[in-house]
Amino acid sequence: QSALTQPPSASGSPGQSVAISCTGISGDVGAYTYVSWYQQHPGKAPKLIIYEVTKRPSGVPDRFTGSKSGNTASLTVSGLQAEDEADYYCSSSFAGSTHVVFGGGTKLTVL
């Protein structure tokens, strides 16, 4: 049950785009990998912002996009806004899995 690797920090200016990586995604051969991303503001509960690699729950702005290539997933935040400053966590599981692993988290700072 190895954790996923995320950069500890990322930053960008308002209006810019920033990408956060999540490395170590793996799964059984032929199995679909389920990657989710969570946003957490200080003192608050995590909030799901991306699931199944690229899907956004209702109400999440389309400024948040997810992607995956090989064993690395990425979250891109476009048109950075002050309220995007938060911690972001990735998670991964796969069909038939009995556990899920989280990344260590990335603190996004809006300069």
Partner 1 sequence: EVQMVESGGGLVQPGGSLRLACAASGFRFSGFWVSWVRQAPGKGLEWVASTNEDGSQTYYVDSVKGRFTISRDNAKSSLYLQMDRLRVEDTAVYYCPRDTGFFTFTYWGQGALVTVSS
Q: Which residues bind partner 1 (CB under 8 A)?
A: 1, 34, 36, 38, 45-48, 51-52, 57, 89, 91, 93-95, 97-105
Residue with smaller CB distance to partner 1, 6 or 17: 6
CA 25, CA 32: separation in Å to the nearest integer?
11
Query: Cα-Cα-Cα-Cα dihedral of 83, 78, 102, 99, to 10°?
Result: 120
CB of 58 to partner 1, least distance (A): 10
Residue with smaller CB distance to partner 1, 3 or 14: 3
Residue 10 burial (C-beta neighbours within 10 Å; 0-12, 13-18, 19+) = middle
Residue with smaller CB distance to partner 1, 3 or 11: 3
